[in-house]
Structures are given as structure tokens and as C-alpha cells.
């Protein structure tokens, strides 16, 4: 691992966008800390994978501190130069069936974890004149629709409430 390269942390590194981000950062001379709920494996150099649970980072301060310590140990004195909050969950279900736990998970992973990650790495990012990038998609404002099987059917209260 080349230590003179800047470090970036990418969440959701196992997904399609996450993998593309990791590869693009490596191609542009960054060392990457790739995190995901599952163990992320990459065939490229300059990538260190850390399995992490963003929901736990959002709700468990000691777990968040352990995660920060792991990242600090990898990045060393230089610290992070960029944080890419890419990971997200989308829980599909009817309004009547969605549980409080599912609702809370959505907010913990999609909103609270990116905030707390930004907070815990803020000093490194400021020192390195770094950046925080929060990735979103159309699903931030519009959920996926369930298909009810009726041809050319887009939405109805019976199928999508």
C-alpha cells in the first residue's frame, strides 16, 4: 500500500455504484477504504476492505468509535481526504405493513449514519482540505413501485399504498 496517496472511505462498496467508485478512486491515485455490510473483496491494489454495519454506527457510539479507530489505524497519520456516503437501504412494502423497526432502519442507514460518519471524520477532512460526498438517487424522493400484474398499470391503492 502506497502511503503517500490520499485516503478515501467509500460506504456501500459492494454495490454497483460503490464498486465503480472504488475503481475510479484507485484509478485516480487514491488509497481506498471500502466498507459494506458484507465483506467487500476487490481484485485491485490500494483497497482495504472493512465490514461495517451503518445502522450500528448510527445507534451505537462505542461501535462508531471502534470503526473510527479501525479507519485511523489504516489511514495512519494522514487521515482521510474524502468520505463518500454511498450506502443506502430501501425497504419496500405497503404502508400498512411497514414496521417501526424497518422505518427506523431506513433513517439510521440513509440519514443518521452519513451524518455521524461526517462528524467523526470531520477533523481529518478539515486538516486535509478534504470533501464529503453524499450519494443519493431518485429513490430519495420516489420509491420503487410494485407491479400488480395489470398490463401498463402504474399505481393504485390496492397495490401501492
Quick one: pLDDT at residue 144? 61
Quick one: pLDDT at residue 18? 94
Give me the tens of pLDDT residue by residue for the chain, a chain 161 residues long.
Answer: 667 899 999 999 999 999 999 999 999 999 999 999 988 778 888 999 999 999 999 999 999 999 999 999 999 999 999 999 999 998 888 888 889 999 999 999 999 999 999 999 999 999 999 999 999 876 556 666 655 555 555 554 445 44
Global pTM? 0.85
Strands (E), 59-151: 80-85, 131-134
Fold of 7-140: Rossmann fold (3.40.50)
Domain spans in the chain, listed from the N-terminal domain onward:
7-140
Quick one: pLDDT at residue 161? 43
Quick one: pLDDT at residue 127? 97
Quick one: pLDDT at residue 43? 80
Q: Given CA atoms 4, 47, 21, 56 in this order, what sign does their dihedral have?
A: negative
CA gap 140, 42 in Å, rounded: 28
Quick one: pLDDT at residue 157? 46
The full 3-state SS of 13-51, as one line of letters, equals: CCCHHHHHHHHHHHHCCCEEEEEECCCCCCCCCCEEEEE
CA gap 157, 153 in Å, rounded: 12
Amino acid at each position: 500500500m502506497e502511503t503517500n496517496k490520499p485516503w478515501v472511505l467509500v460506504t456501500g462498496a459492494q454495490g454497483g455504484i460503490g464498486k465503480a467508485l472504488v475503481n475510479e478512486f484507485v484509478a485516480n491515485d487514491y488509497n481506498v477504504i471500502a466498507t459494506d455490510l458484507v465483506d467487500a473483496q476487490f481484485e485491485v491494489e490500494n483497497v482495504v476492505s472493512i465490514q461495517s454495519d451503518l445502522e450500528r454506527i448510527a445507534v451505537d457510539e462505542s461501535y462508531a468509535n471502534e470503526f473510527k479507530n479501525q479507519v485511523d489505524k489504516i489511514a495512519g497519520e494522514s487521515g482521510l481526504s474524502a468520505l463518500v456516503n454511498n450506502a443506502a437501504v430501501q425497504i419496500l412494502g405497503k404502508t400498512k405493513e411497514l414496521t417501526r423497526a424497518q422505518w427506523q432502519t431506513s433513517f439510521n442507514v440513509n440519514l443518521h449514519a452519513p451524518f455521524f460518519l461526517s462528524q467523526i471524520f470531520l477533523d481529518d477532512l478539515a486538516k486535509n482540505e478534504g470533501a464529503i460526498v453524499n450519494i443519493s438517487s431518485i429513490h430519495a424522493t420516489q420509491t420503487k413501485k410494485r407491479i400488480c400484474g395489470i398490463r401498463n398499470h402504474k399505481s393504485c391503492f390496492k397495490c401501492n399504498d
